[in-house]
């Protein structure tokens, strides 16, 4: 067995790959942080210098320039006042002069507030202040006390010119001082910037060198074991199972090498076992071929029996389906009879109700006939009374003689009319009696008809109940026959499935026989394949 040994040396050998990479990144980040902190310190110093330039040099130059402008304004106004002859312009100049003097004093105070820590600057500022105070005092006194062109004014003007020259010289000295100070601060800022750039460059270079060295070390610790593992894998690809990789490191590559060695050992054992079992596989393939032949014969017989059962089940299914169809038609007929019976019962009930209504009407007709009889009796009584009255009138007319003849004629006509009325009322009475008898007979007949119709209604109800029970029985029978048809169909389907399964079993047996032959061939091929590996 060939063993390739790669030993991880130093503290990095015990680290995993991820911590190694993180360590390189951390070193690079630390160098970046150090460079950044150093650069920030240099930038802070540079910002301090810039602030000094802004607060001292720029402010000093700006305030010195403002002071010079204020002094020039005062000198210009003074010269213009001496040369101007126009009263209005002189008044305007006189009003502007105090403002200019105040601006000069304010500008000097602003410049004096800089308070530099420099004795020469302080002496120059004090000298400028003294000369400016004398200049302002003398200028005011000259304008207020001396007439223009007078000897006193001329003497004061000469002193003012000397003071102006002193102020100008001192202001020039202060401006020069500000320029020198600004140049000095600018040089210091430049030196700070150059030193910061140099420090930052050196820090970055040192960090990069350290990170690069560590990265090279880590890369070497990863690449060398990987090359050894690759060599073992290449040998495995060539069929050599005798190579092993011994990488003595605690990282993932060491674990991968250990796993590869374990896999190689297991593969060698598996191939040896495969060689041993190849012969047994060939023997089992022969036995499997014989068993497949027996299964083929049995499956063919089962398939033939299943075909016979399938044909019988299909015939039974067709007969049951015919019975189910007849039961369905009989159920439909019974339902139609049930509907007709129910309708007949409803008609009979309506006839009973109509007979009752007719009987009630006939009863009312009898009552009306009786009332008519009563009225006829009253009319008859009136006719009899009228006849008696006519008879009396005739008697009285006869007694009256000739004077009562006309009355006797009328009485005779009334008598005749009363007799005719009596005869008519007797006829009406006979007819009313006949109507009452007929009404009574009709009411009795209608009552009998209602009784008969009621019995018919009861018979219809009984028939409807029987038809409903028969319909329920027929429906249950129909469902049973339908279930039987479904069961028969399912049996036929199952037998067909059994036949199909038998056919598939036959095919599987054939396939099994072919597979057994294939196993025999595979056993031979496995022997040849295992022989290509070198197991040591």
pLDDT tens, position by position, 161-182: 888 888 889 888 888 888 887 7
CA-to-CA distance for 242 and 236, rounded, in angstroms?
Answer: 9
Q: Which residues contact 314 (CB under 8 A, 6 or more apart)?
A: 492
Share of the chain above pLDDT 70, in %: 73
What 3-state class would DSSP assign to 149? coil
Could you tell me if 400 and 490 lie in one domain?
A: yes
Distance from C-alpha of 226 to C-alpha of 213, rounded to nearest angstrom = 20
Task: Answer whether 66's CB lies under 8 Å from 110's CB.
Answer: yes
Query: CA nearest 77: which of 106, 105, 100, 103?
Result: 100
Write out the residue range of the structural domain in which residue 69 sits.
Answer: 2-237
Establish if 271 belongs to a structural domain: no
Q: Within its chain, how far is the Cα of 182 from the centroid?
A: 68
Task: Look at residue 481 and tell me whether its pLDDT is greater than 60.
Answer: no
For residue 427, being part of any structural domain is answered with yes
The pLDDT of residue 5 is 45
Cα 456 to its chain centre, rounded Å, is 72
Element (H, E) at 494: helix 405-530
CA distance 149 to 142: 11
Burial 127-166 (b: 16+ CB within 10 A, else e): bbbebbebbbeebeebbeebeeeeeebeebbeebeebbeb
Which pLDDT tens digit goes with each residue over 56-87?
Answer: 557 778 888 898 898 888 888 877 777 777 78
Q: Looking at the structure, do residues 306 and 228 belong to the same domain, yes or no?
A: no
Asked whether residue 317 falls in the same domain as residue 438, the answer is: yes
Q: Is the pLDDT of residue 490 over 80?
A: no
Distance CA 112, CA 159 (A): 25
Would you give the distance in Å from CA 302 to the centre of its chain? Answer: 59
Handedness of CA 349, 355, 361, 367 (dihedral sign): negative
Kindly state whether residues 301 and 223 are assigned to the same domain: no
Tokens, residue 180: 């020198």
Q: What is the mean pLDDT of residues 491-510?
A: 69
In a domain, 88, yes or no: yes
Q: Are residues 313 and 207 part of one domain?
A: no
> Encoding tokens for residue 398?
């006869």
Domain boundary among 203, 218, 237: 237
> Distance (Å, rounded) from C-alpha 448 to C-alpha 459?
17
End-to-end distance of the chain based on CA atoms, in angstroms? 7
Residue 350 maps to a domain: yes
Same domain, 227 and 286: no
Q: How far apart are CA 17 and CA 25, in angstroms?
A: 12
Which pLDDT band, with edges at 50, 70 and 90, does 106 fall under? very high
Residue position matching structure tokens 């219809």:
460
359 and 412 belong to one structural domain: yes
Phi, psi of 532 (to 5 degrees): -80, -15
Query: Does residue 520 sit within a domain?
Result: yes
Residues 225 and 308 in one domain: no
Q: Is 255 part of a structural domain of the chain? A: no
String of b and e for 500-530 (b: at least 16 CB within 10 Å)?
ebbbebbebbeebbebbeebbebbeebeeeb
Q: Are residues 218 and 348 in the same domain?
A: no
pLDDT tens by residue, 437-456 = 877 876 677 677 668 667 76
Q: Which of 216, 237, 258 is the last residue of a domain?
A: 237
Query: Within 10 A of 80 (CB to CB), how many other CB atoms are there?
Result: 15
Angle, vertex CA 125, rays to CA 120 and CA 127, nearest 5: 95
Between 26-30, 111-115, 297-301, 422-426, the lowest mean confidence (pLDDT) is in 297-301
Residue 118 Rama label (left phi>0; alpha psi -120 to 50; beta)? beta
Does residue 198 surpass a pLDDT of 80? Answer: yes
Q: What is the mean pLDDT of residues 327-332?
A: 66
Burial 383-414 (b: 16+ CB within 10 A, else e): beebbeebeebbeebeeeeeebeeebeebeeb
Tell me: do 319 and 175 sit in the same domain: no
- Total domains in the chain come to 2
Low-confidence winner among 83-92, 114-123, 215-224, 488-497 (lowest mean pLDDT) = 488-497
The answer on 291 and 154 residing in a single domain is no
Is residue 431 very low, low, confident or very high in pLDDT (cuts 50, 70, 90)? Answer: confident
Specify whether the CB–CB gap between 73 and 105 falls below 8 A. no
2-7 vs 243-248, strand pairing mode: parallel
Cβ neighbours, 10 Å, residue 375: 13
- Residues 191, 334 within the same domain: no
Q: What is the pLDDT of residues 205-219, one digit of tens each?
A: 888 888 888 788 777
Among 67-71, 117-121, 307-311, which stretch is predicted with the lowest mean pLDDT? 307-311
Q: What is the CATH number of the domain that holds 110?
A: 1.20.120.1730
Report the CATH number at residue 407. Answer: 1.10.287.950
Picking from 151, 162, 199, 182, the residue whose alpha carbon sits closest to that of residue 65 is 182
Q: Is residue 232 part of a domain?
A: yes
Question: Is 429 among the domain residues?
Answer: yes
Highest average pLDDT, of 231-235, 309-313, 460-464, comes from 231-235
Torsion angle in degrees (nearest 10) through CA of 494, 500, 506, 512:
-100
DSSP reduced 3-state for 7:
strand
φ and ψ at residue 534, rounded to 5 degrees: -100, 110
CA-CA distance, 272 to 526, in Å (whole number)? 11
Q: Are 439 and 366 in contact (CB under 8 A)?
A: yes
CA dihedral 52, 54, 60, 64 (to 10 degrees): 170
Q: Is the dihedral of CA 341, 346, 349, 350 positive or negative?
A: negative
Name the band, by pLDDT with cuts 50, 70 and 90, for residue 460: low
């Amino acid at each position: 067995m060939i063993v390739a040994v790669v030993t991880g040396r130093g503290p990095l050998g015990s680290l995993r790959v991820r911590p190694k990479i993180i360590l390189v990144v951390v070193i690079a980040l630390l160098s970046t942080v150090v460079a950044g902190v150093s650069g920030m310190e240099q930038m802070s110093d540079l910002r301090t210098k810039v602030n000094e330039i802004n607060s001292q040099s720029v402010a000093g130059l700006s305030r010195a320039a403002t002071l010079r402008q204020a002094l020039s304004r005062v000198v210009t106004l003074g010269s213009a006042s001496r040369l101007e002859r126009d009263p209005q312009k002189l008044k305007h100049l006189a009003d502007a002069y105090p403002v200019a003097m105040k601006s000069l004093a304010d500008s000097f105070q602003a410049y004096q507030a800089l308070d530099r820590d420099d004795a020469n600057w302080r002496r120059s500022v004090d000298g400028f202040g003294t000369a400016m105070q004398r200049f302002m005092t003398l200028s005011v006194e000259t304008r207020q006390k001396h007439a223009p062109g007078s000897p006193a004014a001329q003497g004061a003007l000469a002193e003012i010119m000397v003071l102006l020259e002193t102020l100008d010289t001192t202001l020039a000295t202060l401006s020069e001082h500000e320029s020198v100070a600004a140049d000095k601060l600018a040089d210091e800022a430049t030196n700070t910037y150059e030193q910061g750039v140099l420090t930052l460059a050196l820090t970055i270079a040192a960090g990069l060198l350290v990170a690069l060295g560590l990265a090279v070390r880590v890369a070497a610790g990863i690449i060398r074991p990987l090359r050894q593992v690759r060599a073992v894998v290449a040998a495995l690809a060539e069929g050599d199972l005798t190579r092993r990789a011994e990488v003595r490191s605690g990282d993932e590559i060491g674990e991968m090498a250990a796993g590869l060695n374990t896999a190689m050992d297991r593969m060698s054992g598996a191939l040896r076992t495969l060689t041993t079992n190849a012969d047994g596989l060939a023997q089992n393939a022969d036995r499997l071929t014989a068993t497949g032949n027996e299964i083929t014969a049995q499956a063919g017989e089962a398939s033939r029996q299943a075909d016979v059962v399938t044909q019988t089940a299909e015939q039974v299914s067709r007969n049951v389906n015919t019975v189910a169809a007849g039961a369905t038609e009989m159920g439909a007929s019974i339902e139609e009879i049930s509907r007709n019976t129910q309708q007949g019962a409803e008609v009979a009930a309506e006839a009973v109700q109509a007979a009752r209504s007719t009987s009630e009407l006939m009863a009312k007709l009898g009552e009306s006939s009786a009332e008519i009889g009563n009225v006829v009796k009253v009319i008859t009584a009136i006719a009899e009374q009228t006849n008696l009255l006519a008879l009396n009138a005739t008697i009285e007319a006869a007694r009256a003689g000739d004077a009562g003849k006309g009355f006797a004629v009328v009485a005779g006509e009334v008598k005749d009319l009363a007799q005719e009325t009596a005869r008519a009322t007797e006829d009406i009475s006979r007819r009313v009696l006949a109507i009452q008898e007929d009404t009574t007979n009709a009411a009795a007949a209608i009552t009998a008809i209602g009784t008969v119709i009621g019995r018919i209604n009861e018979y219809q109800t009984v028939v409807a109940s029987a038809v409903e029970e028969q319909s329920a029985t027929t429906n249950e029978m129909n469902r049973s026959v339908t279930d039987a048809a479904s069961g028969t169909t399912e049996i036929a389907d199952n037998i067909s499935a059994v036949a199909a399964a038998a056919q598939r079993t036959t095919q599987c047996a054939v396939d099994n026989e072919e597979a057994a032959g294939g196993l025999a061939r595979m056993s031979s091929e496995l022997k040849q394949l295992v022989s290509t590996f070198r197991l040591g």
